[in-house]
Structure 1
Amino acid sequence: MFGKEEFYRIILDNLFDGVYLVGKDKRITYWNKGATRITGYDSETVIGRKCSENLLMHVSESGTLLCITGCPISETITDGAVREAEVFLHHSDGHRVPVLVRVAPLVDEEGNIIGAVESFSDNSITIQERKRANNFQKEAMEDALTGIGNRRFIEHKFRFSLGEAQQLGDQIGVLLIDIDYFKKVNDNYGHDIGDQVLKMVAKTIANNVRVTDFVGRWGGEEFVVVLHNMDQERLIAISEKIRALVGKAQLHTLHGEIKVTISIGAALNSTNDTPDSLFERIDKLLYQSKSEGRNRVSYS
Structure 2
Amino acid sequence: MKDSDIVKKRHMLDKQHIKLTYITHFYCNQANINSVESLLREYENYPDDIKDQVEFVIVDDCSPLKYKVNHFDLNITWLKITEDIEWNQAGARNLGVVYAKSDKIILMDLDCKLPEDTFRYLVNAGNPERSFYRIYRTDPQTKKACRGHPNVFFLSRARFFRLYGYDEEFAGHYGAEDYRFVKFHKDHGSKPKYLAKKFRCIDRNIDREKSYHSLNRDLSHNTPIDLRKKLEIARFGKEYGHSRIFLNFTWSIDTIYSRTAPIPVQKRWWRPLWWFRYLFRCFSV
- TM-score, normalized by the shorter chain, greater than 0.5: no
Q: Between Structure 1 and Structure 2, which shows a larger proportion of strand residues?
A: 1
Higher relative contact order (CA 8 A, sep 6+): 2
TM-score (norm 1): 0.23
Q: Between Structure 1 and Structure 2, which shows a larger proportion of helix residues?
A: 1
Larger Cα Rg: Structure 1 or Structure 2?
1
